[in-house]
Amino acid sequence: MDTAAVVSSKPGNPTSMVPASLRGIFPVLVALPVLLLLEWLLSDSPFATYLLSIMGVNVILAVSLNIVNGMTGQFSIGHAGFMAVGAYLSGVTSLALKDVAISFLPVAVSDQVFLLVALLVGGIAAATAGFLVGLPSLRLRGDYLAIVTLGFGEIIRVAVTNTEAFGRALGLSGIPQTSSVAMVGFWVFLVVLVARRIAGSSHGRSLWAIREDEVAAEAMGVNTTGYKVRAFVISSFFAGVAGALFAHFVPIINPGSFTFVKSMEIVVMVVLGGLGSTTGAIVAAVFLTLLPEGLRSLFTTFGTGGSLAQQVDQIRMPVYGLMLVVLMLSRPQGLLGTRELWEVIPRWIPRRRKGM
Amino acid sequence: MAQLLQHLINGIAAGTIYALVALGYTMVYGVLKLINFAHGDVMMVGVYMGYSTAFLLGRQTQSTPWGVLVIFLVAMAGCALMGFLIERFAYRPLRDKPRLTALITAIGISFALSYGFQLDIGFLPGSAPRAFPQIIKPAQWFTVGDPEFPDVVLWNWQVISLMLAVGLMVGLQYLVYRTRFGRAMRAVSFDHRVAALMGIPTDRVISLTFMIGSALAAGAGLLYAIKDTSVSPLMGLYVGLKAFVAAVIGGIGNVPGAMVGGLLLGLVEEFVVGYAASTWRDAVAFGFLILVLLVRPGGLFGRVAAEKV
């Protein structure tokens, strides 16, 4: 990760343009103090902590799905399934490790170490599931692959609902609430870094090639199957981590949190931001998380009655549906397309590194 | 033995309904190469249209043969109109765009319909399931064993839906392979640009196909509602998905394939519920789909077309 990749900025290849700011260790030096400061500032505001956490989880989900849907062009609509795998397995791990502590470390640090272990367990389990789902992409493409991912998500949900160890339909409760904003932020940072690095690498160019024309990419010598499976594995790893983080700050996880609807929410984020744009996915995820919350608190403060505030949740889904339709009709490439945020900011804002 | 027979009857009855919904998927896919995700939700809207019509007709008239006919016709006509509107305003503008955009649009329409119908505003039905009126009075056609508590029952609506499904399939097969319109459909399916050059009114053919498919969905949905006796705004999502699975298993774009796929799916589900665990039903349906696709990527009757650059 610290090997500063020599990224070509050849003309006519704008997708490989990684800003200088993301290279090397510099972002870590900036991000870490900011995260810790945030953690300290928010320590006595549970609502803000919750909001930031759920926002971070959604960002991780959207950015990771974007690697498969946006960069590789393999339309996957079962992302919530991977999230469920991560959430449940990390939850079970945490429950098993509940009473264990590393004695020579302070309690908080020890908690974070075990949380990290649980996150990795969840992530790796989801990555394994992603490998299994990626394999059918050997033979299936397009719509068929989409329906297989959907079926996979549903199978996971039914399997979880029927497993005694996962609490059946009631779900898993009593998972230690050890997740912190700093931890979520760390993974957001990591997934963005990985996504941007992939986008700018030769690996990424293979993914873009598959996205544009799979048959042509194959003819040019790209190992399409290998790249597709790898994209699935990376993407599902992060989805698993997101699920694991989610499991560690909500009081209870149940199969109802990981339905087809959740998958579609993530798809909407990716499509709205622009298929292939990492920053677009981030912006869309933040926006779509804040919008319902904002509307709800707006209705509550103006005292238009609790019923309207409750209806925000109801209205959300049809609005998402209409948004997809309108977006596809007016801007099929999403708000940003495959461009990144800094490529669309107006020219008069000074930039450190000129675009082409 | 009696139990097995009963499961077979139930499986075939469920399967014919899946097959009927799957026919609509298959037709639309045949001409447009688009998975019309909203098909199940069009079906749901059709069921609600039938529900309202049944109430307007009142308790006495709704279960007479004419009443049933009116209910079916209203629902089917309403859905045909809706199918036309959806095609005209949501899918036609995207016809020359990548297929993914149309798929996303279809998912969007599906969500807007199924969750829009759950709202509690004005005339919308709200999210609670409702009892569907008994427009066909249930009667036993055939029983085995004690007449009071029979081991095997064949209901009249099961026979009616099977006959309707077979009749519609034969009709569709005739329409596609024996009529001018069918020839136009096949031409559009093969290559809609060349078909347009040859003087085929492509847009009209696609619109009509959509309308026929949506009307079929409404009819199938009503049969489903009679069997299930309850309707809810989310029924379209799940019945639609199952029917889609059936269409893909049979090889999407293939009319007899949809029929066989529907029957197979109905039987598999019924046997899982009967002999294993009912809670695994949905998972088994999708597992079956994935299995079939892994062995035959084009479905049982489908052909995998070689792709060119």
Tell me the pLDDT band of B210, cut-offs 50, 70 and 90.
very high
Tell me the pLDDT band of A8, cut-offs 50, 70 and 90.
very low
Instruction: Find, among A263, A266, A194, A204, the residue nearest to A71 by Cα.
Output: A204
**CA–CA distances in Å: residue B52 to residues B21, B116, B184:** 21, 17, 36
pLDDT over 70 for what percent of chain B?
Answer: 97
- In this prediction the pTM is 0.84
Residue of chain B whose alpha carbon sits nearest to that of A69 = B100
Distance of alpha carbon B3 from alpha carbon A197, whole angstroms: 60
Distance of alpha carbon B228 from alpha carbon B221, whole angstroms: 10
pLDDT digits (tens, 9 = 90+) for A243-274: 999 999 888 888 888 888 889 889 888 988 88
More confident residue, A106 or A155: A155
The verdict on a CB contact (< 8 Å) between B105 and A328 is yes
pLDDT over 90 for what percent of chain B?
Answer: 23
The verdict on a CB contact (< 8 Å) between B283 and A152 is no
Q: Does A325 touch chain B if contact means CB atoms closer than 8 Å?
A: yes
Q: Torsion-angle region of residue A102: left (phi > 0), alpha (psi -120 to 50) or beta? A: beta
Q: What is the DSSP letter of B307?
A: P
Q: Torsion over CA of A53, A55, A56 and A59, rounded to 10 degrees?
A: 160
pLDDT score at B280: 83
Residue of chain A whose alpha carbon sits nearest to that of B126 = A314
B154 bridge partner residues: B142
Burial class (CB in 10 A: 0-12, 13-18, 19+), A342: middle
pLDDT score at A306: 56
pLDDT score at B248: 86
User: SS3 letters for chain A?
Assistant: CCCCCCCCCCCCCHHHCCCHHHCCCHHHHHHHHHHHHHHHHCCCCHHHHHHHHHHHHHHHHHHHHHHHHHHCCCCCCCHHHHHHHHHHHHHHHHHHCCCCCCCCCCHHHHHHHHHHHHHHHHHHHHHHHHHHHHHHHHCCCCHHHHHHHHHHHHHHHHHHHCCHHHCHHHCEECCCCCCCHHHHHHHHHHHHHHHHHHHHCHHHHHHHHHHHCHHHHHHCCCCHHHHHHHHHHHHHHHHHHHHHHHHCCCCEECHHHHCHHHHHHHHHHHHHHCCCCHHHHHHHHHHHHHHHHHHHHHHHHCCCCHHHHHHHHHHHHHHHHHHHHHHHHHCCCCCCCCCCHHHHCCCCCCCCCCCC
H or E element at residue B198:
none
The verdict on a CB contact (< 8 Å) between B279 and A162 is yes
Distance of alpha carbon B189 from alpha carbon B209, whole angstroms: 11
* Average pLDDT value for residue range A114-130: 93
Tell me the pLDDT band of A6, cut-offs 50, 70 and 90.
very low
pLDDT digits (tens, 9 = 90+) for A196-219: 889 888 888 999 998 888 888 888
Task: Please give the structure tokens belonging to residue A134.
Answer: 């990626």
* Average pLDDT value for residue range A292-306: 69
Q: Which of B286, B292, B295 has the highest number of chain A CBs within 10 A, making it the mutation to test binding with A? A: B286
Residues near B243 by beta carbon (within 8 Å), at least 6 away in sequence: B18, B19, B21, B22, B24, B25, B39, B40, B220, B262
Tell me the pLDDT band of B84, cut-offs 50, 70 and 90.
very high
- Enumerate the residues of chain B whose CB falls inside 8 A of the CB of residue A260: 237
For residue B33, pLDDT beyond 50: yes
H or E element at residue B168:
helix B156-178
pLDDT score at A61: 95
Judge whether B189 and B31 are in contact, CB under 8 Å. Answer: yes
- Enumerate the residues of chain B whose CB falls inside 8 A of the CB of residue A219: 309
Distance of alpha carbon A119 from alpha carbon A300, whole angstroms: 36
Q: Does A305 touch chain B if contact means CB atoms closer than 8 Å?
A: no
The verdict on a CB contact (< 8 Å) between A77 and B283 is no
pLDDT score at A82: 94
* Average pLDDT value for residue range A291-315: 69
pLDDT score at A242: 96
Phi and psi torsions of A158, nearest 5°:
-65, -40
State chain A's mean pLDDT as an integer: 81
Nearest to A155 among B120, B237, B283 (CB): B283
Residues near B92 by beta carbon (within 8 Å), at least 6 away in sequence: B203, B206
Q: Which of B44, B107, B309 has the highest number of chain A CBs within 10 A, making it the mutation to test binding with A? A: B107
Q: Does A151 touch chain B if contact means CB atoms closer than 8 Å?
A: yes
More confident residue, A89 or A17: A89
pLDDT digits (tens, 9 = 90+) for B231-287: 888 888 888 888 888 888 888 878 888 889 999 999 998 888 888 777 888 888 888
Distance to chain B for A330, nearest Cα, Å: 10
For residue A22, pLDDT beyond 60: no
Overall residue count recorded for chain A in this entry: 356
* Average pLDDT value for residue range A19-44: 66
Distance of alpha carbon A5 from alpha carbon A194, whole angstroms: 12
- Enumerate the residues of chain B whose CB falls inside 8 A of the CB of residue A271: 104
Distance to chain A for B90, nearest Cα, Å: 7
Distance to chain A for B260, nearest Cα, Å: 19
> Is the alpha carbon torsion for A109, A113, A114, A116 positive or negative?
positive
For residue A355, pLDDT beyond 80: no
Phi and psi torsions of A202, nearest 5°:
-65, -35
Nearest to B293 among A144, A154, A323 (CB): A144
Task: Please give the structure tokens belonging to residue B237.
Answer: 């999502």
Out of A25-29, B12-16, B88-92, B300-304, least confident range? A25-29
pLDDT digits (tens, 9 = 90+) for B118-147: 887 767 777 788 888 887 777 777 777 777
Nearest to A146 among B103, B283, B309 (CB): B103
Residue of chain A whose alpha carbon sits nearest to that of B112 = A318
Out of A22-31, A324-333, B91-100, least confident range? A22-31
Out of A70-84, A85-99, A307-321, least confident range? A307-321
Residues near B140 by beta carbon (within 8 Å), at least 6 away in sequence: B150, B153, B154, B155, B156
pLDDT score at A110: 81
Residue of chain B whose alpha carbon sits nearest to that of A325 = B105
The verdict on a CB contact (< 8 Å) between A154 and B283 is yes
* Position B105, amino acid: T
